[in-house]
Structure 1
């Protein structure tokens, strides 16, 4: 219980500090730049004796909604650099730095936070140490933990979304479409409850893992996490779980993507449409798995509009 009490106190201090000109009351080790507050290394669980953590980006003018962003690339975490530490303070990754990373969603925390969303940057155990079953469990636990503690962040549990690209997008879909699954090692009541998400937005996300590896045999060589039993390819494929009660889902994909081919986005969208789920599919022309800054910005803008629509950004009303 002490852990949660301290966490709540830190959150209150940081939210208060975000609305002042100084951060004199900020706990040691937490720096508050002018554009966002940061709560680092919140522990949501443990595995193999290691702490599983997430960071929280706190907006100056919160709108009461939150977006969970899994920091994952090739099921390795952390993969993306959303923020840079300089002289003990944090700033967002710049466009130039982002262009050198060749990744889709580095720009997303800045866009979301500046529009009032509280952003949770979640890290999971990385392959090859961790299996797909363990990685999925980490993200599922994080989502349940965040929803359970939503009140601590002044969030409405009915206004929480998931966002990710590539492996992060796969995990966002997998967890967002299966809120009814409890944690296999659940001890607390919150670990057994539904963790319903209100909106999902993904880019270039693997959706049918069986087809993904059959179309890209080298992925089995490069990513041990994909060396699974036949039945597991279906178990960890988001297309398996499309059902009419799924949250509104935005699928974005580049038509020149050779790493995660366009068919993956098409299959996910088709499954959602057949299930009667509110969904939208955007194809980005001449776009590979490594986007330009302009392409990435458009993807983030589309995701932001999707969240505004389905999470109800009251700050824009």
Structure 2
């Protein structure tokens, strides 16, 4: 047995051991042969919430464009496997079409209030950008996809990436990576606009927005504005693809339309897709039509 064969066998064994750290139900969402790198720390600490997973296509002749997966959960629950099983058609298609996926954890609002969450997301992408060679990723073609609270974070990353807001970055310095596309599933886009659906006596326990900001948006509209993706929309923002169910009782669909309108007014490419009969999440977002829209969007702006 020659040295190259021994090394190949070792590599297969090693990557297999790594993949074993990922739950089997998540592994089964990806095409056979997908290379999996679990639980990679992206910050200089040991926090579980500062880890990410990378999934790389089995067969690739060049570096893979990268899609950053950001889970939902009201900023206070969920993890880097969140929303994946509801989107198994899309997950499989991403890898099958040559895109790598990195799913990230971020700190909950129960342990660190805003802007900790957007700071973590930016730090995770900065880590992936700086380590792209190691994982055979195309650092110049990065998109973000998020669901609910993750959709909000994806949108905020996309609109604020060129605004140099020091509070959004872990080292108070804007990183050099660029977001080339944003896919937002039913994320809240504007906390000021959302005030209209809140009661005067809404407390911290009743509102995920209040828990995120550390204060009621109605009492701290200054914070609500700073935290809203719509605040940062300008002509240099990346293209957006926005999905929202017309039966959503958690995040008003008007917030997605508002973001779409702001983007269009700034001459940013935006496609707003209303999903009939869909509520806040669920399998109605896991369809061939939605999958195809996502792949076309990524092929257009990342390849």
Q: 1:162 to 1:65 in 2, by over 3 A?
A: same
User: Which secondary structure state, in structure 2, belongs to the residue aligned with residue 23 of structure 1?
Assistant: helix
CA-CA distance at 1:296 after TM superposition: 2.4
Distance of 1:25 and 1:184 partners within structure 2 = 34
Deviations 1:103-138 (A, max 9, x none): xx4554322112211100010011211202111111
Change (3 A) 1:66 1:307: same
User: What do the CA deviations read for 1:73-122 (whole angstroms, capped 9, x no partner)?
Assistant: 21135347469xxxxxxxx84xxxx4xxxxxx455432211221110001
Structure 1 unaligned segments of length 5 or more: list them. Answer: 1-15, 84-91, 99-104, 313-317
Aligned counterpart, 2:52: 54
Report the 3-state secondary structure (helix = DSSP H, G, I; strand = E; otherwise coil) of the residue aligned with 1:24: helix
Cα distance per residue 1:164-219 (max 9 Å; x no partner)? 111101000101222243565428xxx64332111111111110012224314468
1:289 and 1:243 map into 2 onto residues whose CA distance is: 28
**Matched position secondary structure for 1:76:** coil
Q: 1:305 to 1:76 in 2, by over 3 A?
A: farther
Q: Distance in 1 between matches of 2:247 and 2:143?
A: 27
| CA-to-aligned-CA distance 1:217-252 (integer Å, 9 cap, x gap) | 468524211443321111110111111111111111
Aligned-CA RMSD value: 2.9
Is contact 2:53-2:80 (8 Å) kept? no
1:242-257 to structure 2, matched below 5 A, reads 242-257=233-248
Which residue number in structure 1 is paired with residue 65 of structure 2?
A: 65
Q: Match of 1:39?
A: 37
CA contact (8 A) 1:203 1:299 kept: no
Q: Alpha carbons of 1:122 and 1:225: their partners in 2 closer, same or farther (altered >3 Å)?
A: same
- 8 Å contact from structure 2 (residues 42, 52) kept in 1: yes
Aligned-residue offset at 1:53: 0.5
Secondary structure of 1:139 counterpart: helix
Where in structure 2 are the equivalents of 1:282-301 lying within 5 Å?
282-291=273-282, 293-297=283-287, 298-301=289-292
Report how many residues are paired.
272
Distance 2:203 2:279 in 1: 17
Match of 2:12 in 1: 23
TM-score, normalisation: structure 2: 0.79
Question: Is the contact made by 1:41 and 1:55 (CA closer than 8 Å) also made in structure 2?
Answer: yes
- Structure 2 residue 212 is matched with structure 1 residue 225: yes
Deviation at 1:25, TM superposition (A): 4.2
What 5-or-longer segments of structure 2 have no aligned partner?
1-6
Distance 1:107 1:156, change over 3 A: same
Aligned to 1:305: 296
CA contact (8 A) 1:73 1:80 kept: no
In structure 2, how many angstroms separate the alpha carbons of the residues matched to 1:311 and 1:124?
25
Match of 1:193 among 129, 152, 175: 175
